Structure 1
């Protein structure tokens, strides 16, 4: 990767002992015990890894302590967190977080010397961006990307996005607030759904529709438009019913979701001239790849007129979230983290 780690530079800044890397979302937290790479240019090594449901724990401290007890053991003194939100004073603020995250409390409870924080999609941007990985499936566009900025977009509990600049521009990853942009309906049906979500007008963010909760909200709105009572209670139930064609409103909700995601991704690809490609990240999308493939995503991604020629050359992949978040967080920490201080990368989902 262009973010190759120089071990000699790191040894003076980061202890050789294993450290924690946690990718904390609104529904799941992925936690790993990482080892500093042995040898120049190598990536951090994963010694242990778990995907944990946030709802199973009273807070992040309890979640991380459970991992330490089962997989890490004593002596872990450093931690890097990739999480949605932004740091204010000592707290990570995020509307979609299952519990408050207080950094000083976390450090004290786990006896940590250092806690570093970056945005979760910034972490994904560090892990992705040099061509498709083994868990990636091409959705549309050319097979081989050009050199240029790479977008990482992920609808989950919220809607996150980050852009990674090419190596010629330093390989930096920029976190964004793109999920909070005003939703722009692309069809009459989407205007009707928007009118139900905001009956008095006003601001409606893209993540109100393009996310797991957004899919469920769209489904409920479509049921209301037809005067029916919603029969499905989770985003997973909606996608399963759509795949089975067993619920007409679920089918239409997924169509609206995929089309709106296409418009969102195409707009960002234009904004950042993302010739390096677009990654749609997360198990949520990976599990509904066939629905996405047969939707209006590509047509809405391509937009129209002169910009269509540019966007048709931008490849789009769907990739599993997997370990990318913890790997990207560890790479960022080893390259930029300095033990003894809290690092902040501000954005919100």
Structure 2
């Protein structure tokens, strides 16, 4: 008997909508043995080709006209407030209720991309991701997710004996804490340019440049006008000592931030790191003092010491998270 025939599963329309691409797919089944969603009819369209999300979805639905999904979950890179969704980079805006009626959906959820990451976390494939820090995950405890990209995102999957839900947060705007003398010197330099030195001030695409300028000042070197890609390239080629020190500090210091968030979320179920930057710095991250700094939390060091940390390199995270959001709420 096929997986599809063995259990009744109403297909879930899922989407991952960002500034560059709008990805759509159908979740056609859930494989309990593998703890994985079956993703089919995966299709990606350039967001700039469409004037609205409605237009993009209509194009996708025309490619699967024999299937009429009645439930959908959209993961979007933008704020959702009072049932209104704004995709700032695209100038797209829509009302969740109007969207639901337009497509004749019985169920529609719209979540942000880091909420999707949190929902996806129990369904990730260990073989496709990288262990940064081993530990003992409590299967009934909260899971934290975080990551630097264009900004810094953080969220928590809250698990109780009876249910799961996602706590979205503005963890990227927490004040960045210094743990050692170098951190303190860097924050002193960063404050000259930034009124509030937050986690995102350093741990984001633009943040790498901020950290490089501060590192140059601390080392008494004149900073060059470099972007994050140039800093990474010069660090990896060995041509720039300050660039190399910047990326090493980035990997060390994010360990302390990850440990802080793990404590704040009570993430004994594990911490997952994603975003666009760290997967490209994988070997440097694994060679860094991340694990040491993650665990160094004074009287709570034993607590953080048992938490596993995983670098997520697997594809389709927002689609898996969108599926999990609806699957868990039935």
Q: What TM-score range do you get, normalising by the shorter chain? A: 0.7 to 0.9
| Structure 1 contact 156–284 (Cα < 8 Å) conserved | yes
CA 30–100 in structure 1, closer or farther in 2 if over 3 Å, else same: closer
- In the alignment, which residue of structure 2 is the partner of 1:216? 209
| Structure 1 contact 80–117 (Cα < 8 Å) conserved | yes
CA distance in 1, matches of 2:294, 2:160: 26
Partner of residue 264 from structure 1, selected from 257, 262, 269? 257
Deviation at 1:316, TM superposition (A): 0.9
CA distance in 2, matches of 1:319, 1:297: 16
- In the alignment, which residue of structure 2 is the partner of 1:3? none
Partner of residue 135 from structure 1, selected from 128, 136, 143? 128
- Residue 317 in 1 paired to residue 310 in 2? yes
Partner of residue 143 from structure 2, selected from 146, 150, 153? 150
- Residue 302 in 1 paired to residue 271 in 2? no
User: What is the SS of the residue equivalent to 1:207?
Assistant: helix
Partner of residue 94 from structure 2, selected from 82, 103, 109? 103
- Residue 186 in 1 paired to residue 217 in 2? no
Partner of residue 37 from structure 1, selected from 13, 26, 29? 29
TM superposition score normalised by structure 1:
0.75
Q: Where does 1:36-185 land on structure 2 (aligned, <5 Å)? A: 36-37=28-29, 44-50=37-43, 60=53, 64=57, 67-68=60-61, 71-72=63-64, 79-89=72-82, 91-93=84-86, 97-104=88-95, 111-114=102-105, 115-129=108-122, 133-142=126-135, 144-147=136-139, 148-166=141-159, 168=161, 170-185=163-178
| Structure 1 contact 154–161 (Cα < 8 Å) conserved | yes
CA distance in 1, matches of 2:204, 2:211: 10
CA 120–334 in structure 1, closer or farther in 2 if over 3 Å, else same: same
User: What is the SS of the residue equivalent to 2:80?
Assistant: strand
CA 54–154 in structure 1, closer or farther in 2 if over 3 Å, else same: farther
CA distance in 2, matches of 1:208, 1:275: 27
| Structure 1 contact 219–249 (Cα < 8 Å) conserved | yes
Partner of residue 276 from structure 1, selected from 269, 293, 312? 269
| Structure 1 contact 34–47 (Cα < 8 Å) conserved | yes
Q: State the Cα deviation string for residues 296-348 of structure 1 (Å, max 9, x = none).
A: 212221124322122111111111252121111122124438xxxxxxxxxxx
User: What is the SS of the residue equivalent to 1:183?
Assistant: coil
- In the alignment, which residue of structure 1 is the partner of 2:3? none
More contact order relative to length (CA 8 Å, sep ≥ 6):
1
Deviation at 1:56, TM superposition (A): 7.3
| Structure 1 contact 22–29 (Cα < 8 Å) conserved | no
Deviation at 1:117, TM superposition (A): 0.8
TM superposition score normalised by structure 2:
0.79
CA distance in 2, matches of 1:65, 1:240: 41
Task: Between 295-304 and 308-317, report the one with greater CA deviation.
Answer: 295-304
Structure 1 unmatched runs, 5+ = 1-6, 338-349
CA distance in 2, matches of 1:61, 1:177: 28
User: What is the SS of the residue equivalent to 1:122?
Assistant: helix
Q: State the Cα deviation string for residues 244-298 of structure 1 (Å, max 9, x = none).
A: 3232232122122212211111011122332221111235322211110111212
| Structure 1 contact 263–297 (Cα < 8 Å) conserved | yes
| Structure 2 contact 132–311 (Cα < 8 Å) conserved | yes
CA distance in 2, matches of 1:177, 1:310: 24
Q: State the Cα deviation string for residues 91-135 of structure 1 (Å, max 9, x = none).
A: 4357xx423331149966x95234521132222222213676221
CA distance in 2, matches of 1:52, 1:186: 44
Q: State the Cα deviation string for residues 196-249 of structure 1 (Å, max 9, x = none).
A: 443276423211211222123322443466223224x3x344334333323223
- In the alignment, which residue of structure 1 is the partner of 2:4? none
User: What is the SS of the residue equivalent to 1:49?
Assistant: strand
CA RMSD of aligned residues (A): 3.6
